[in-house]
Amino acid sequence: MRKLDYTTIFFILMGSFLFFFVLIPIVNLIVSANPEVLLSNLQDQEVVSALFLSIYCALAATIIALLCGVPLAYLLARDDFWGKGFVESVIDVPLVIPHTVTGIILLLVFNPGGIFGAPLSHIGLTFNDAIPGIIVAMLFASSPFVVNSSREGFESVDPRMEKVARTLGSGSLKTFFIITLPLALRNVVVGSIMCWARAISEFGAIVILAYYPTTAPILIYRRFVDFGLTESIPVAVLLISVCLILFLIVRLLISGWKTYDKD
């Protein structure tokens, strides 16, 4: 076997602390759950509807993030414009502020008297303790994943390839859909799944903006406060399983996706 130098050994030692610090609690949670209790929880209407609500709202938030985030990502990847740095910073802000603050920010504008909430309430959209509230909270916190990952994908497509497509008679929007997007699709999909998983996990903003209807992270919190640790574990295991499955899909996509420029 190759002899490791002391620097490598030292770095492995330090690095593995972090690795096990993350891994052990997750594994511990999963093995500490009683399978029978898990099964009975899966039949609990409250648990199932909370899980579905989380998945469904997160999906809606992801779709909105895709529709608006992909065009924005393309602009950021291709064009240099005045204030670009500012736009980039604004997009990343949700990643660095506390999620409870996100909740407060959103509550201010989406309450029935707020600058977004007031006009939208005229068309029957309410956000306080309602599904649209859950979705906007998720969207705000998770959209940077879609924008940043898609942008990376677009940057990897040579703009000259688009130009060649255009000389061959393809309009600029068409070129985007048949050349650029297919080549950047892996990044867009990975970004979307990250966004989706992050949205499912969202707690801080939702607890302030839309405590009801109950999403899975809120349900876990409530069971913990009302009944203690043992009652919250099964729901936690179910939720983490959903997130891990999504995460696993991302990892598989990253490693297995056919890339056209490499063997």
Partner 1 sequence: MIKIENLCRDWNEFQIDHVNLDIKTGEYFVILGPSGSGKTLLLELIAGIWQVDSGDIYMDGENVTWTPLEKRGVGFVYQNYMLFPHKTVFENIAFGLNMRKVDKKEVKERVDNMMKLLSIDHLAHRLPRTLSGGEQQRTALARALIINPRVLLMDEPLSALDRKTRDGLTHEMKELHQKFNITMIHVTHNFDEALSLADRIAIMKEGKISQVGDTTEIFRHPKDKFVADFVGVENIIKGVASKYREKLTVIDTENISIYTTEQIVGPVHVTVRPEDIILSNKKVETSARNVFEGKITEISDNGAIIKLTIDVGEPIIVFLTRQSFIDMELNIGSHVWTYFKATAVHAF
Query: Interface residues with partner 1 (CB under 8 A)?
Result: 158, 160-161, 163-172, 174, 179, 182-183, 260-263
What single DSSP character describes residue 123?
T
User: Least distance (Å) from partner 1 to the CB of residue 188?
Assistant: 14
| Alpha carbon distance 93, 90 (integer Å) | 5
Closest to 175 (Cα-Cα) out of 145, 190, 154, 149: 154
Name 212's Cβ contacts closer than 8 Å, sequence gap at least 6: 129
Token pair of 66 as six digits = 């895709």
CB-nearer residue toward partner 1: 7 or 167: 167
Residue 247 CB partners (closer than 8 Å, separation 6+) = 193, 197
H or E stretch at 216: helix 216-227
The nearer residue to partner 1, 2 or 160, going by C-beta atoms, is: 160
- Find the shortest distance in angstroms from Cβ 178 to partner 1: 9
* CA atoms of 118 and 110, how far apart (whole Å): 8
Tell me whether residue 186 or residue 198 sits nearer to partner 1 (CB atom): 186
Q: Are 139 and 61 in contact (CB under 8 A)?
A: yes
Q: How far is the CB of 74 from partner 1 (least distance, A)?
A: 18
Rounded least distance, CB 260 to partner 1, Å: 3
Instruction: Determine the angle formed by the axes of helices 131-155 and 181-201, rounding to 10 degrees.
Output: 150
Residue nearer to partner 1 on the CB measure, 19 or 257: 257
Question: Which one, 163 or 251, has the nearer CB to partner 1?
Answer: 163
Nearest-angstrom CA–CA distance, 31 and 187? 33
Work out how close the CB of 255 gets to partner 1 at its nearest, in angstroms, rounded to a whole number: 18
Closest distance between partner 1 and the C-beta of residue 166, in Å? 5
Nearer CB in complex with partner 1: 85/169: 169
For 52, what's the count of Cα atoms within 13 Å in the CB-facing half-sphere? 8
